Structure 1
């Protein structure tokens, strides 16, 4: 299958997403799970230990400062679905303003992050990584805050892992997901618009919202 950025976005618009079997696989296939993982934007669960870590962290966050670095960090594992073609496609989407990253830094070192695709008020989370304790959790907490501030309505996590479930992620049916997607993609949202907030500011806003 030959994919282009336009074909990729058409797939997201219909509720499917691409994967490869492994990093060197030349083939890309579409995935349409019967049960879809989503993160309710008002249901993110930050444990007391995570809130404490965010208050005391030296980590800093940024957006769209090292998209390729985040993708490469997510692919830096023994078993990955991020093939060379998929990497190139998402970098192309990023250059078009349709894919975004949130980075976590320890000084000048990229230690965690998350990236995904946007369509209307839907955010399709692709992958995240962590090279320090709590870096991916802090990235996810800051991402959820950004999506709320920017007016997003749907945070698609594709699958539900134990890690995501511990943070408030849930599974919904394919039909329920497509209903939510149809509503969200028709609404406006701008990932880049909200003020960039530090982990300390994000945890303060969590407290205000709860």
Structure 2
């Protein structure tokens, strides 16, 4: 998820292609690979499969005190697939983005097919203040990037996604590389072989991401191991 030159390790490179289209991205996700274009002008696209993989599940979610206070007091709401293009646009709006124009076209096509999804976090006055997006492979969701315009809104998006994946019959979220941001939420690191076994089990699951708009405060129950009130 934190796909920057600093986080991506050279030894995790597994292949190079001359482009990325919807089918290539789906095949890559099914094999545990993800692309990392270096610039809009990149002719060769490197693909990575980390030796150590970060995975988040609803069962491992940890909410810090600050995040708990935000969930209790802010009146935020969450949704899925209400503003896919806006979420991707916010995630791409940074100087060192890997989300090139071609990648945005590819993700938009997968979203049109129902294979890529977004999570949105909304303020009480209807502003989009955080989110994440990615590709679903059976019961495993590959979260590609995230953003926030208010503190902790991107964390809320990830916790919300973990809950929606679980309630929709899935097993968890592939966060790719561990970061302080994801580690604070309870993300676990597994080796490549373990991750690929998890992916293999998840590929055949008939999981479906729930899309209704829900109060973010319900996520306080996720870290307690309780089914959130809906």
Q: TM-score normalised by the shorter chain: which range applies?
A: over 0.9
Q: Which moved more, 1:107-116 or 1:157-166?
A: 107-116
Is the 1:154–1:181 contact (alpha carbons within 8 Å) kept by the matching residues of 2? no
- Which residue of 2 is the match for residue 164 of structure 1? 182
| Cα deviation 1:25-57 (Å, max 9, x = unaligned) | 454221111111111331011112211210111
Name the Cα RMSD after superposition.
1.8
Q: Give the CA deviation at 1:155.
A: 1.2
- Which residue of 2 is the match for residue 93 of structure 1? 110
Q: Distance in 1 between matches of 2:205 and 2:75?
A: 36
Q: Does 1:12 align with 2:33?
A: no
Unaligned runs of 5+ in 1: none
SS at match of 1:115: strand
Q: Distance in 1 between matches of 2:75 and 2:44?
A: 41
Query: What is the aligned counterpart of 2:194 among 176, 183, 204?
Result: 176
SS at match of 1:46: coil
Q: Does 1:112 align with 2:143?
A: no
SS at match of 1:190: coil
Q: Aligned residue pairs: how many?
A: 209
Query: What is the aligned counterpart of 1:153 among 151, 171, 177?
Result: 171
Is the 2:57–2:162 contact (alpha carbons within 8 Å) kept by the matching residues of 1? no
- The ranges of structure 1 where at least 4 consecutive aligned residues each deviate by more than 6 angstroms after the TM superposition are none
TM-score by length of structure 1 reads: 0.92
Unaligned runs of 5+ in 2: 1-17
Q: Does 1:141 align with 2:120?
A: no
Q: Does 1:132 align with 2:146?
A: no
Query: What is the aligned counterpart of 1:76 among 78, 86, 93?
Result: 93
SS at match of 2:145: strand
Query: What is the aligned counterpart of 1:57 among 44, 61, 74?
Result: 74
